[in-house]
Amino acid sequence: MKGELTPAGVIATELVLEIFHVNGLLLEVGNDLTRPVGLTSARWQVLGAVEQRPEPVNRIARVMGLSRQAVQQTTDALKRDGFIEYHENPHHSRAKLVTLTPKARDALRVINKRQIQWANELGETHSPKQLQEALTLLRQLSQGFERDDAAAATAAKAERRF
């Protein structure tokens, strides 16, 4: 039925709205966890994306589901504050690699200790089965959205050719 939500559509809408709400709360928690080292949730996310290996801004944005411009602004601020550096990328002359500084690694050690304590406390409030079911559902939703985005991008490219 066009124009009316089905019972499943009502629940799906409520789920999305709750995810938005939880996202806001998680950003607040992240800000609390990172505040002692002068970071924010957004900056922590970017540092976490390059903790294991240097990445260009566009790859960080893709992995995080953010715009390249938003990540570029965050990395520029992190550079100004001494948390990251840009290095030449052997695979792309214009897409510099984002790398962590020792200051960032020290900050991440502090944050990770705080996050472990927070996650363990959260884990005690729900059974592992409940948490796994929620994780599975969120991953399935994410994969579905990514497939939809890829299909839409392919359709848009096809339309531009004509």
The pLDDT-based confidence of 161 (bands split at 50, 70, 90) is low
Residue 45 has which token pair? 């996310």
Own/partner pairs, 115-121, CB within 8 angstroms, 24+ separation: 115/33, 118/29, 118/33
What letter does residue 55 receive in the DSSP assignment?
A: E
CA-to-CA separations, 66 to 14, 24, 42, 73, 124, in angstroms, rounded: 23, 15, 10, 12, 31
Domains, the chain, with CATH or none: 31-148 (1.10.10.10)
What's the predicted TM-score (pTM) here? 0.82
**pLDDT tens digit string along 21-53?**
999 999 999 999 999 999 999 999 999 999 999
